Amino acid sequence: MKIQFNKQLDKEVYLAFCDAVVGGTDFGKKIRDEHPDITKENYSDYIDSFYASEKEMLENTLRDTEKCFDEIKDTLFSELQKYFSKDYREEKYTCYLSIFDCNPRYLESKSFQVYYQRSHTMRKEVIAHELTHFAFYDFCNELGIKDSDALWELSEIFNVIFLNLPPLQEAIGAEELLFYPDLKDKLEEIKQIWTKYPDAKYFIEASLRRNLLFVHNE
Ligand SMILES: [Zn+2]
């Protein structure tokens, strides 16, 4: 996995998120709280000068994030391989450090952003979380399962079950929590399916069949 900065992507993310409220999260406010002087008029120069003036601190964070990945990669890839029967070590993932706390992911390019101010442990959590999404979607793709709201929900729930397995907990050091509270009831049901079907294919198919009965309310 490559870990790098991408100033251009931060400019695009600023424009995409500066007015966005998604699932109850006000991204514009999160941006303004840390960068009170950024505006739609000055964002490009603002981002350039932020990167220039904070260069050293950003580079230190980049090196520390490489350590984050080193601390989880062996356990993460071996647990993913056990579960999905595939070795993801050579996949071309990219982790971009970002100066904004929006943390988008791009499934097509297997890339994602991590907010540079997150703690060392929480950067480990984001990396494990996103790489698990990529593996899950890769596996579903190969089974011919199409993307849908139900699949996205299942992927979030799967992360909570999978990343809380003891070996991963030991490597990451932060409990994996459900980011979307309205999935809580579903988590309990899906956990029962997980216990019943240790095989990835059966687990996903049985969960999606069950998931059809859920009403997606967004
Ligand atoms: Zn997620």
What are the tens digits of pLDDT across the range 17-58?
Answer: 999 998 778 999 999 999 999 999 999 999 999 999 999 999
pLDDT at 208 over 80: yes
Q: 46 C-alpha vs ligand 1 centroid, how far in Å?
A: 29
pLDDT digits (tens, 9 = 90+) for 57-83: 999 999 999 999 999 999 999 999 999
Centroid of ligand 1 to alpha carbon of 104 (angstroms): 9
The rounded Å distance from CA 54 to ligand 1 centre is 29
For residue 41, report the distance from its CA to the centre of ligand 1, in Å: 32
CA of 50 to the centre of ligand 1 (A): 28
**Could you give the percent of the chain with pLDDT greater than 70?**
96
Residue 217 lies in a domain: no
Q: Is residue 218 situated within a structural domain?
A: no
pLDDT in tens, 74-125: 999 999 999 999 999 999 999 999 999 999 999 999 999 999 999 999 999 9
At residue 26, what is the residue type? Answer: D
pLDDT above 60 (res 176): yes
Structural domain boundaries, residue 98: 2-211
Whether the model pTM is above 0.95: no
User: 68 C-alpha to center of ligand 1: Å?
Assistant: 18
Residue 164 and residue 176 in contact, taking contact as beta carbons nearer than 8 Å: yes
pLDDT band at 218 (very low <50, low <70, confident <90, very high): very low
Please count the structural domains in the chain.
1
Which H or E element spans position 115? strand 111-115
Q: How far apart are the first and last CA of the chain?
A: 33
Q: Let me know if residue 177 belongs to a domain.
A: yes
Domain-embedded: residue 216: no
Phi, psi of 85, deg, nearest 5? 55, 35
Report yes or no: 180 and 194 within 8 Å, Cβ to Cβ: no
Classify residue 145: in a domain, yes or no: yes
**What is residue 182's DSSP assignment?**
G
Query: How much distance in Å is there from the Cα of 70 to the middle of ligand 1?
Result: 21
How far does the centroid of ligand 1 lie from the alpha carbon of residue 105, in Å? 9
